[in-house]
Amino acid sequence: MALLTVLCYPDPRLYKVAKPVAVVDARIKKIVADMAHTMYDAPGVGLAATQVDIHERILVIDISENQDELMVFINPELVWVSPEKKAWREGCLSVPDHYDEVERPDTVRVKALDINGEKFEIEADGLLSVCLQHEMDHLQGKVFVEYLSLLKRNRISLKMKKRIKELVGQR
């Protein structure tokens, strides 16, 4: 398993729209394994392929306390969202050390393919719902900070650019 490099906001590659996976084959399984490895290493509760510069509709999520319940979503699609909304404090591996409140539908129903290419559908609320919506946004080229005010977004952009400069300077 390889550790993949997570793109950092405002990297323009985070704005690319992912394409559907045509067939869940060995190549896709390898991507999923590498993505899961990268998510656990961070550690994070979710990772979209877009964040590791792979522009195919693949997500890995694990919201379990012991990080031992991997969920894989290939070609995920929202089939229903609740009219009720809820605000959660979100974070993102592509926006290190920044957390902010985003309001989203409370409950969602998502259909996808699993790691074996089998169709499944789940209804999610709470953290899983937030996670699914956040990660599916990534596949559409949207980072959660896009929900914040322009002022906040500019501030985050500057902070991230400074951080990248510092990281490069350390090498």
Instruction: Rule CB under 5 A: say whether 35 interacts with Ni ion.
Output: no
Q: Is 37 helix (H, G, I), strand (E, B) or coil?
A: helix
Extended strands (E) in the chain: 46-48, 58-61, 71-81, 85-92, 95-105, 108-113, 119-124
Q: Whose structure tokens read 């490895």? A: 37
Residue span binding Ni ion (CB under 5 A) among the ranges 63-71, 84-92, 96-104, 159-167: 84-92
State in angstroms the smallest separation of the CB of 45 from Ni ion: 10
Which residue lies nearer to Ni ion by CB, 117 or 153? 153
Instruction: Rule CB under 5 A: say whether 112 interacts with Ni ion.
Output: no
166: annotated active-site residue: no
Q: Is 41 helix (H, G, I), strand (E, B) or coil?
A: helix
Q: State the distance between the two ends of the chain, measured CA to CA, in whole angstroms.
A: 25
Angstrom distance (rounded) from CA 138 to CA 161: 20
State in angstroms the smallest separation of the CB of 120 from Ni ion: 23
Instruction: Rule CB under 5 A: say whether 39 interacts with Ni ion.
Output: no
What's the token pair of residue 149? 């005010």
Q: Of 103, 135, 146, 166, which one is the catalytic site residue?
A: 135
Instruction: With beta carbons less than 8 A apart as the criterion, state whether 145 and 9 touch.
Output: yes
DSSP-assigned beta bridge partners for residue 60: 47, 72
Residue span binding Ni ion (CB under 5 A) among the ranges 62-70, 85-93, 118-126, 149-157: 85-93
Residue type, 118: E
Q: Shortest Cβ contact with Ni ion: which residue?
A: 92
Which residue lies nearer to Ni ion by CB, 50 or 75? 50
- Can you tell me which of 92, 102, 110, 131 binds Ni ion, judged by CB under 5 A? 92
Catalytic residues: 135
Binding site for Ni ion (CB under 5 A): 92
